[in-house]
Amino acid sequence: MFVRKALYSSAAAVAVLLGATSVMAQVQEIPVDARSTLAPGIHDAAQAAQGMELEYAVTPPPGFFDPDAIFAPPTTREEAEAMRANPPRYSPLALANSDMAVSDGKLFVGNFNGFNIYDISGQGAPELVVSVVCPGGQGDLSVHGNLLFMSVEQNNGRIDCGASGASGAVNPERFRGIRIFDITDIKAPRQVAAVQTCRGSHTHTLVPSADPRTLYVYNSATSGVRRSDELSICSDGEPGTNPETALYSIDVIEVPLDHPENAAIVNRPRIFADRDTGAVAGLWMGGRAGVSSQATARTNHCHDITVFPELNRAAGACSGNGILLDISDPKNPQRISDIFDPDMAYWHSATFANSGEKVVFTDEWGGGTSPRCTAEAPGNWGANLVATITNGELRGRAFHKLPSVQGANENCVAHNGNIIPVPGRDLMVQAWYQGGVSVMDFTDPMRPVEIAYFDRGPLGERLMIGGSWSAYWLNGRIYSSEIARGIDVLRLVPSDQLSAAEIAAAEAVQMDEINPQTQTRISWADTPDVAGAYLDQLHRSEGITGDMHHQVMGVIDGWRRGRINAGAARTAAASLNEAASAQGVNPIDAGRMKALAEVLTRAAG
Amino acid sequence: MLKLVGLLAAGLVLGQDPVQDPADAAPIVNPGAPGAATRQITASQAVDLSRTTHTAEDVRFMQHMIVHHAQAVEMVALLETRGSSPAVRNMGRRIALSQEAEIDLMRNWLLSRGLPLEPTDLHAGHAMAPAPASGGHDAHAGHMDHGAGHDAHGTAATPTDPDEIPLMPGMLSPAQMRRLAAAEGPEFDRLFLQGMIQHHQGALDMVDELLALPDSGNDPMLSDFLSSVVADQSAEILRMQSLLSDQ
């Protein structure tokens, strides 16, 4: 794209200066497509979809919608002045939907004004169970057993969930931190604890421990430090002048599950410290790496952390850097790797591949309220950065941005997503605000590519903030939390990019509890769909011969009809293993052949 | 196949009252502080809660201030035919313009929040009526009590005659209004300036009173309005005091 040449040079210069790795891949050309010019509307915008279809659009429940509450940020100086003279009666995003979690057939949808709980155990549309009003934003949610955790960051948050706000610089009624609700009575969640933190809570991540009676919560907080006369543990400033500063750390909260009311901060680890000197501010100090580089935020907080407890690893998206943590001792996370990239403005979220060997970092360039997918926006800014982990070292490999030019009235940038469990592939479904929902295949970390999408036109004829905040694969469907419009439920449909068997294999993976930032390793049962998924992938990539495809297909078809031909299955498995070991075979296809051979061998008994 | 779910959007589009939830609708609850009980609330409360906050006292202040300002406009109307000083007349016209603009702002503030323009604790038309029913006084007696400032600004000490009791701090009592309406020439100008200073001072007291309450005056628009009331009326009081001393 238009700044690429200069970026190459600045990136190379930084790589030399800082020893940082930079992504040198070709910058994506962002095309105009069917999504680019959809007609606007709050409830009647035009739609476009490929590889998925909208099953249900659940409008916001009573008390959580008002057209006047949709935030229309000023886009000119005149508009800014007019807004100051005549402020809107809602604060920005007052009723915005945010992040989601799932437990026991219930979908928990966060909102700046509280949260809503839906029953999604049936076949039909999600059914509202209860709406809970408890303002404070952003309302990031996680669930563990009978406990629901909620992030509160805004100054108007009150300990008592009240809505009268908390005025003044110091207010004993103010709450910013992590609320814990007991949801035993699902229709009347009760607040049992409220852990105050110095910078509130923007997002949080549940971290299980070896002791099943203890749960840890990593709190990522991005806003200003509270005054010490409001919360005594807090003080502001750079570490040079204030070594006790509440900046440059995360909060580790310990939750005794038998007594959640005793939840408390037990550590505020200096995870950005320089590993040699111990200096607290050891990572990116903010600014541009080169003249045409992105202005990158200073690393004094994490925006979001995703843990993968089975691997004892966490990936942190920490404003100016992506980091990798060893969480063998969850109370004392240790940084083992960090990366910087001159094209990343704000490291926002992290998602591991199921293998744990790749991490997708997102860049929330512009903070989510700006149109960053227009034709003028560079194809590697506000994008995903696919990184690999080799011997504990992170390395950025390729950028991937929503491959569709979006309008100036659509706030759009990379946002929250999670893994779609298709065996043999690394797929991630992801929210792009008003850019819609997109599925990225990053099986090959050097060549991430989109394979499905859903999008609507903008909310209105001017920039109004909305779109998909989070899009997650939750037990067989994509749920998209639409900031202004409610909940969308999307179903994957077969295409030349994704087969019916691959979809069925993913849909069969069911989990009781899903907190997308607490990843668990997915394993698949041996089924004809799982075998078919691998086979379809090998066929699509032309990784196997027509004869072998035919041979394996015959085995799988028999298995589908209820009788697997054990002899034929073993023969096919042997052929696959042999082909996988042949010279020059693409390692991704070789992995699929071996996995398919294992499934067939086990199925043959 | 898309199925649009949810009654709310349809309700809003058709202009129905979203408060009227179907009987089997999911409950809306508001938890309390840790350990406290969770209570059920209505949909309209849920939306109210999410707005840029204003308190019941904020609302009452705006409703009352409309009545308060309306009397100033009424006083200026008398000035047009009964006063003699061109300087006082010009002053009065400026006051009427600014009071009318502020009345519009207050009406819009209330209307855009779906709030009634008239206070529930004042009888409609009370402010203009010379002799209110005694029940009206009882209803707003509490308000009179905490309008502690008004005795200091020229109304009779501890009046018991309803005719001598102003509706709210600084407002002219029905008897004062009659005396003003009966005066002419320089005498009118003097009564007008004294009355308007008392009236403006009352507005400043009402602002002080409001801001002394917890959580009041937080709404950004209301807060701006309070600042401009204090600035404008203080300046006008100084100007009127100077005109009065010239007389």
Alpha carbons B3 and B16: distance in angstroms, whole number? 21
Altogether, the residues listed in chain A come to a count of 605
pLDDT band at B167 (very low <50, low <70, confident <90, very high): confident
> What's the average model confidence in pLDDT over B187-192?
94
Q: What is the DSSP letter of A563?
A: -
Q: Which residues fall within 8 angstroms of residue A546, CB to CB, at 6 or more apart?
A: none
Q: Give me the residue label for tokens 């078919």.
A: A532
Q: How far apart are CA B90 and CA A598, in angstroms?
A: 96
Tokens of A414: 């990379």
In this prediction, residue B215 carries a pLDDT of 66
Distance of CA A313 to the CA centre of its chain: 16
Cα Rg for chain A, rounded, in angstroms? 24
Q: Compute CA distances B186 → A156, A172, B76, B181, whole Å.
A: 54, 56, 15, 13
Q: A-chain residues within 8 Å CB-CB of B30?
A: 132-134, 161-163
Say how far apart CA A399 and CA A1 lie, in whole Å: 13
The reported pLDDT for the residue numbered B17 is: 37
Query: Is the pLDDT confidence value at B216 over 80?
Result: no
Q: Does the structure show a pLDDT above 80 at B241? A: yes
Among residues A485, A486, A500, A575, which one has the least CA distance to residue A530? A500
Q: What is the pLDDT of residue B56?
A: 82
Q: Do B27 and A164 touch (CB under 8 A)?
A: no
Whether residue B31 and residue A55 make contact (CB cut-off 8 A), yes or no, is no
Q: How far apart are the first and last CA of chain A?
A: 54
Whether residues A87 and B35 touch (CB distance < 8 A) is answered with: no
Task: Measure the CA–CA gap between B198 and B231, rounded to whole angstroms.
Answer: 16
Residues in A closer than 8 angstroms to B17, CB to CB, are: none
Q: Using CA atoms, how far apart are residues B104 and B122, in angstroms rounded to an integer?
A: 20
Q: List B residues 2-21 in contact with A (Cβ-Cβ < 8 A).
A: 2-9, 12-13, 18-19, 21
pLDDT: is B97 or A456 the higher one? A456
Let me know: does A183 contact A148? Beta carbons within 8 Å.
Answer: yes
Where is A322: in which H helix or E strand? Answer: strand A321-326
pLDDT at position A326, please? 98
The two three-digit tokens of residue A462, written as one number: 């001017």
Q: What single-letter amino acid sits at B57?
A: E
Helix (H) or strand (E) holding B70: helix B56-82
Domain boundaries, chain B: 56-126+173-246
For all residues of chain B together, what is the average pLDDT? 74
Long-range CB contacts for residues A545-552, cutoff 8 Å, separation at least 24: A545/A579, A548/A572, A548/A575, A548/A576, A548/A579, A551/A575, A552/A576, A552/A596, A552/A600
Residue A262: CB atoms within 10 Å: 11
Chain A residues with CB under 8 Å of B6 CB are: 58-61, 486
pTM of the model: 0.76
Q: What is the pLDDT of residue B221?
A: 72
**Intervals of CATH 2.130.10.10 along chain A:** 4-514
CA–CA separation, A579 and A543 (whole Å): 9
Please choose, from the candidates A138, A102, A114, the residue with its C-alpha nearest in 3D space to the C-alpha of residue A348.
Answer: A138
> Alpha-carbon distance A600 to A594, whole Å?
10
The Cα A271–Cα A268 span in angstroms is 9
DSSP A229: T
Sheet holding A264-267, edge to edge: A203-208, A214-220, A251-256, A264-267
Tell me if A62 and B43 make a contact (CB, 8 A cut-off): yes
Task: Name B20's Cβ contacts closer than 8 Å, sequence gap at least 6.
Answer: none
- Is residue B129 scored above 80 in pLDDT? no
pLDDT for B40 beyond 50: yes
Q: Does any CB of chain A come closer than 8 Å to the CB of residue B131?
A: no
Ranges in chain A, pLDDT < 50: 1-21
Cis peptide before A138 (omega within 30 of 0): yes
Return the CATH number of the domain spanning residue range B56-126+173-246: 1.20.1260.10
CA distance A62 to A80: 31
Q: How much is the pLDDT for B41?
A: 87
Structure tokens at B29: 């609850």
Q: Between vectors from CA A50 to CA A48 and to CA A56, what angle results, nearest 5°?
A: 65
Q: What is the pLDDT of residue A23?
A: 62
Q: Is B7 exposed, middle or buried (0-12, 13-18, 19+ CB in 10 A)?
A: middle
pLDDT at B199 over 90: yes
DSSP state of A419: E
CA distance B162 to chain A (A): 37
Rounded Cα distance between A159 and A180, Å, is 11
The partner residues of A386 in beta bridges, in order of sequence, read A360, A398
Tokens of A93: 């995003």
State which amino acid sits at residue B39: R
Q: Which residue of B has its CA nearest to A70?
A: B51
CA dihedral A71, A74, A78, A80 (to 10 degrees): 80
Report pLDDT for A19. Answer: 43
- Give how far A79 is from chain B: nearest CA, Å: 16
Domain at A4-514: CATH architecture: 7 Propeller (2.130)
> What local confidence, expressed as pLDDT, does residue B146 receive?
33
CB of B114 within 8 Å of a chain A CB? The answer is: no
- Per-residue pLDDT band for B211 (boundaries 50, 70, 90) equals confident
